[in-house]
Chain A
């Protein structure tokens, strides 16, 4: 195994040949903001948050898909980079309907935490307020397109970890949409294995387990009845 020596934010580090700049930085304890990156699936370089400066190269490069090379000098944290990152997040917040106050992911949302990390306290662009539906036809899970940032983590984990190939992307530009099978209702999907990997992958509240929203908190009281019957009447039938 051969190693490469490089500098990230002034720190000399070594990384395995073929490693991404993101991996190298993470190993060295340097945190680069990411959104479409997900451990376990391949990188697509889509969210542009992990863009870094490499000395001598004109263009900004995504840390997730750029391989380490001998002697490169990488800057992950500059005024310019952070400005672009903040703008990227502002664009995301304005693009769909991210209403944190009523979101199942509030407080556990990567979009939120990235925004706080960059000191984003308001969005300067006009909110677009597009109309998107919620697909709640699946028995266990739901998909709220209002909260989707199109990172495609769900698609990649569905194809490459589960191997089901249920999730996909349809449409172009801002009208792009995560779909199930051939743009069918999730509840009608025959390819979905109900493994929940898409939900695990989602950085926001777009994909969620059912029952987590306030209005869905139905109480299942049959268990109580079962225990009481078992104790008092010695009946063990559910």
Chain B
């Protein structure tokens, strides 16, 4: 494989395209609403209506507007795409007939809706456009060019330099500077190094990484390959949770296709660079999203974290220097290599560069995936893009960062969404879950929900997380059942502090966050549930 061959594939593929393209979203969300039957019926309708020559039906990944799904988009008829929403398999004939000008009463979406218009797409640029199961589709939009450029025109150190310049920070949650991490692994001595892509997305309500893997698997593979070249690794592992079967099967297809074309394997682009990727399927433990636990799992051991240092960059998988990044981080790489770190750094805020994908869910009108520039005010996301809370209710709070994050009350909706601003409010960016709550939501119940999640997902290795989350859940239950006193609340706060400061890994260290942030902003909701301390010390003060 050389660049000419790559270009030939692209040209041939573009040449074979038909005039009208009917894109059917076949991501997990739309698939669960029978998108496979929709696609089949669309194909039959095209044949039956004799449009074979000019219309092709294409399987595509996530278009983003999941709440309006299943979605079907049509290119080549009008200047802008036509978007059909809430499509059922029996609507296929009407959709195809509409191409010939037949009126239908199907729901048509507005491509200029703020939900789409306010997005800046880097990671999700190809989502909903290309067929994730066809490498030619990816190559046709310039796929694997960045890898070629890196391998043939850049030294590994230059790649690291470009990523550093971009200001990209880890999209898994902590926001560690990606370039710095790459540089550390590159400099760590060792004959064998590994790349790991963390696709163990497990936050309740989060599906950003799933969507990227399902919609654009080659983008992640290419990012990993560029990373491998930059740090000097020749083996990568893609760790995906077993709950994402569609992502896994599309990755398997993608890896096979890339290998067949020599874009993975030995001597890529006829350079001495070798890189192989294997998939490791997680068994569903949330804690395996923690990097040291994930590496244990890849090694075939029980997925429990270990103390850091040593950090994976020095001693990671099988004791070798290991670069571990999240799916979304890798998905940013090709754009950075193609357009340059400076271009990437021009998007976002001073300390948080680029875009971030969020899964917008909860009590909100427009549910789905959005990619927005860092620094966008939260209000624009939830009110303009999200369309506010349903039934005319008021938004009370926005939860970011999943079980490790916090609840941001409505009065802070003008806060720009970036790493620092969210942290200042006692929440975190996290991996990108964004759960909107309206004024009917009970915040103590929310705190309890997340605590129960952390308790169930604690690996059991360290005592504060294992037993502390259980006691915190117990105290929250007592408060909700109106059986707790001020002393119980004090005990809860004391435990929050202790679990936060003494737990071994991030799961335990951040488990108290939902309680702490709801206590910070909605303390009255806790106090309203407390009972007077009838048998406490105060009752005995007088003889």
Contacts and interface: CB of A to CB of B under 8 A. Distances in A.
Question: Per the CB under 8 Å rule, do A and B touch in the complex?
Answer: yes
Interface of A: 44-48, 51, 59-60, 62, 65-66, 83-84, 87-88, 91-92, 94-95, 124-126, 128, 149-150, 168-169, 171-176
A199 B469 CA distance: 29
A37 B481 CA distance: 40
B460 A60 contact: no
B458 A51 contact: no
Given A62-B307, A87-B495, A173 B455 contact: yes
A21 to B, nearest CB: 12
Given A44-B306, A125-B471, A173-B456, A88 B466 contact: no
Interface string B488-507: 00010011001001111000
Interface of B: 285, 287, 302, 306-307, 455-464, 466-471, 474, 491, 494-495, 498, 501-504
A173 B458 CA distance: 5
Contacts of B491: 124-125
B316 to A, nearest CB: 16
A48 to B, nearest CB: 5
15 contacts: A44-B306, A46-B504, A47-B462, A48-B464, A48-B503, A66-B307, A87-B498, A91-B463, A92-B463, A124-B491, A150-B460, A173-B470, A174-B455, A174-B458, A175-B460
Contacts of B460: 150, 169, 171-176
Q: Looking at chain B's contact residues, is the secondary structure mostly helix, strand, loop, or mixed?
A: helix
Contacts of B462: 45-48
Contacts of A60: 501-502
Contact of A44 (B457, B461, B470, B474): B461
A48 B463 contact: yes
B466 A150 contact: yes
B501 A174 contact: no
Contacts of B302: 168-169
A178 to B, nearest CB: 11
A173 B470 CA distance: 9
**Residue from B455, B460, B503 having most chain A Cβ neighbours under 10 A:** B460
A87 B496 CA distance: 12
Nearest to B458: A173
B280 to A, nearest CB: 19
B501 A84 contact: yes
Contact of B458 (A45, A87, A172): A172
A124 B470 CA distance: 14
Nearest to B468: A91
Contacts of A128: 470, 474
Given A44-B306, A84-B501, A128-B470, A172 B456 contact: yes
Contacts of A124: 491
B502 A88 contact: yes
The 5 lowest CB-CB distance pairs between A and B, nearest first, are A176-B460, A91-B467, A173-B458, A45-B307, A95-B467
B460 to A, nearest CB: 3
Given A45-B307, A172-B460, A87 B470 contact: no
